[in-house]
Amino acid sequence: MTAAPARLRIDRAALTANWRALRDRAAVACGAAVKADGYGLGAVEVVRTLAAAGCRDFFVATWHEAEALAGLGVPVSVLHGVRDEDMPAAMSGIARPVLNTPIQVARWKAAGGGACDVMVDTGMNRLGVSPDEVRTGLLEGLSIDTLMSHLACADQDSPMNAAQRSRFAALQGVTTARRMSLANSAAIARGRDYAFDLVRPGLALYGGVPCDALAGAIAQVVTPEAQILQRRTVRAGETVGYNATWTATTDTEVAIINLGYADGYFRGFSDRGSAAGGTLPVIGRVSMDLVALDVSAAAALAEGDWVAIDFDLRAAAGISGMSQYELLTGLGSRVERCWQ
């Protein structure tokens, strides 16, 4: 196949280092959330990399995602549990369901399903059975590997964190679950109290920094790169791009690169993004397939050359108005994933 004119450079060593840093901070077993195709990096390669480092717990959202990992020989949990439609895949044993509702629990019991995980809702009111349902015996008869819950506000200082933590801790010993798990990336930074037996980071593995406490501990993993399609001189007074939002105040060297919002370089980067360590500012609107850079600082850059887009996730989220999660999962399929 023809090489794509845009690629995502993925730093395998940084991914592994981030997993180790999170595991060491939590000081308990450390899994990995690899839903949404490994947050856009490619779940199969993420799993291969982290399994080689010793990771033994992987989390996806759906059975379709679990099927993509079958054959890698690693334990996978499916966060959305089991619908009727999922039962053939679930009974085939490729992964464990995370049961979220009394109906899912009944479905799993009726089918004589084996090991499972269970999500308890401790206050987020998204997914999970209630602590009362757990106390009144809903889970009796299940073979539970991991009892888990999820924090609504892990990335901010909120009284909800301690409240959810204590509701969860109160369930210790109430079920036959082998392990308890509460913490995503941000919750790992809240301290050992939040770690229980297993932590489940996603974002921070991939270079996201959800809170100040993790700044400095997490390395950048992904860098989009794009090829220059045309270099031109834009004369003073001329404009660049859709709706002519950018006007040259002086003769300006401009490079048009093979990247746009259809690739996940969203319109929020218009006039605000940059490449090559801040030396090449984005000018004008980001188009579907193209971005214009002011390359006055780079006399040697020519048609066909590659430029690296500035993509420190925290900074990129700040300037684009997107979340770090959206920036990762929005990276498009035209951008070739290149593991290094």
Ligand X SMILES: *Cc1c(COP(=O)(O)O)cnc(C)c1O
**Smallest distance, ligand X to C-beta of residue 124, A:** 9
**CB of 218 within 8 A of CB of 206?**
no
Give, as ranges, the residues between 247 and 286 that touch ligand X (CB under 6 A): none
Report the C-alpha dihedral over residues 123, 128, 130, 131, rounded to 10 degrees: -80
SS3 96: strand
Say whether residue 202 binds ligand X (CB under 6 A). Answer: yes
**Is 124 annotated as belonging to a binding site?**
no
Q: Which stretch binds ligand X (CB under 6 A): 168-176, 199-207, 247-255, 283-291?
A: 199-207
Say whether residue 33 binds ligand X (CB under 6 A). Answer: yes
**CB of 213 within 8 A of CB of 1?**
no
Catalytic residue among 35, 194, 261, 325: 35
Query: How many amino acids of this chain bind ligand X (CB under 6 A)?
Result: 11
Longest dimension (CA), the chain: 76
CA of 43: how far to CAs of 67, 150, 206, 259, in Å?
Answer: 11, 22, 12, 23
242 is catalytic: yes
Q: Which stretch binds ligand X (CB under 6 A): 129-137, 194-202, 216-224, 312-320?
A: 194-202
**Smallest distance, ligand X to C-beta of residue 39, A:** 7
Site string for ligand X, 40-79 (x = CB under 6 A): ---------------------------------------x
180 DSSP β-pair partners = 147
Among 25, 107, 150, 165, binds ligand X (CB under 6 A): 150
**Smallest distance, ligand X to C-beta of residue 47, A:** 15
CA of 253: how far to CAs of 135, 164, 290, in Å?
Answer: 68, 55, 16
Contacts of 35 (CB under 8 A, 6+ apart): 43, 59, 60, 61, 62, 65, 79, 202
Q: Which amino acid is at 106?
A: A
**Is 126 annotated as belonging to a binding site?**
yes
**Smallest distance, ligand X to C-beta of residue 35, A:** 6
| 2: its two tokens | 């023809």
35 is catalytic: yes
> Closest CB to ligand X among 12 and 200?
200
Say whether residue 200 binds ligand X (CB under 6 A). Answer: yes
SS (H, E, C) 225-259: EEEEEEEEEECCCCEECHHHCEECCCCEEEEEECC
Give, as ranges, the residues between 79 and 108 that touch ligand X (CB under 6 A): 79
Among 120, 171, 203, 322, binds ligand X (CB under 6 A): 203
Enzyme catalytic residues: 35, 242
Q: What residue numbers does the annotated binding site for substrate cover? A: 126, 288
